[in-house]
Amino acid sequence: MRAEVIGYQDDSMLVSAALLLGFVSCCLHCSAAGAQLMAPHNVRMITLNTQYMLSWDYDASVKESIVFTSQYLSKFKLKLKKKSATWTMACNETSQWSCDLTVFNLHYLGIYLVRVQASVNGMHSDWVQKEFCPDKDAAVGPPAGVRLLPVGSHLEVTIVDPRTTINSSMRDLLPSLYYHIRYWEHSEDTLGSVNSSANMVTLPNLKAWTWYCVSVQSRCDFYKKSSNFTAPHCMQTKGAVPWWQIIMFFLGSLMICFLLAMLLLCSFFFICKTFKATLYPANRLPAHFQQFLHDSPGSDIPPLLTSDSESLLYDKVLICPEPRLWEQEVPPEEDLADQPSDSSCQISSSSGDSGVYSTGGFSGLQEPVPAALCVSGAPEQVKMQAIKSEASVADGVVAICI
Q: In this model, does residue 356 exceed pLDDT 90? A: no
Domain boundary among 182, 214, 236: 236
Is 60 exceeded by the pLDDT of residue 154?
A: yes
**Higher local confidence (pLDDT), 289 or 215:** 215
In sequence order, which residues have a C-beta less than 8 Å from that of residue 200 and are 6 or more positions away? Answer: 156, 157, 158, 159
pLDDT at 362 over 70: no
Instruction: Return phi, psi of residue 330, to 5°.
Output: -70, 125
Q: Distance between CA atoms of 32 and 211, rounded to whole angstroms? A: 69
- Assess if residue 7 is contained within a domain: no
> Read out DSSP for 45-87?
EEEETTEEEEEEE--TT--S--EEEEEEEEGGGGGS-TTT--P
Q: How many CA atoms lie within 13 A of 94 on its CB side?
A: 16
Domain CATH number, residue 203: 2.60.40.10
Instruction: Tell me the CA distances in angstroms from 201 to 5, 150, 221, 226, 374, one per residue in order.
Output: 101, 12, 20, 19, 101
Burial class (CB in 10 A: 0-12, 13-18, 19+), 303: middle
Q: 163 and 109 in one domain?
A: no
Q: State the Cα–Cα distance between residues 46 and 27, nearest whole angstrom.
A: 39
Give the number of domains in the chain: 3
Q: Say whether both 81 and 110 belong to one domain.
A: yes
The reported pLDDT for the residue numbered 259 is 95
Domain boundary among 105, 120, 137: 137
Of 145, 144, 152, 143, the C-alpha closest to 202 is 152
Q: Is 154 domain-assigned?
A: yes
Q: Are residues 49 and 88 in the same domain?
A: yes
pLDDT attached to residue 291: 66
Beta bridge partners of 357: 346
Does the pLDDT of residue 301 top 60, yes or no? no
Q: Are residues 155 and 173 in the same domain?
A: yes
Q: Does 350 lie in the same domain as 310? A: yes
- Same domain assignment for residues 103 and 181: no
- Claim to verify: residue 212 and residue 151 sit in the same structural domain: yes
Domain hosting 45: range is 41-137
Mean pLDDT, range 330-347, rounded to an integer: 47
Same structural domain for residues 231 and 174? Answer: yes
The answer to whether residue 29 is domain-embedded is no
Angle at 21 between CA 18 and CA 25, to 5 degrees: 140
Domain stop point among 115, 137, 159? 137
Please check the confidence at residue 393 and state whether its pLDDT lies above 50.
no
Asked whether residue 135 carries a pLDDT value surpassing 50, the answer given is: yes
My answer on whether 105 and 182 are in the same domain is no
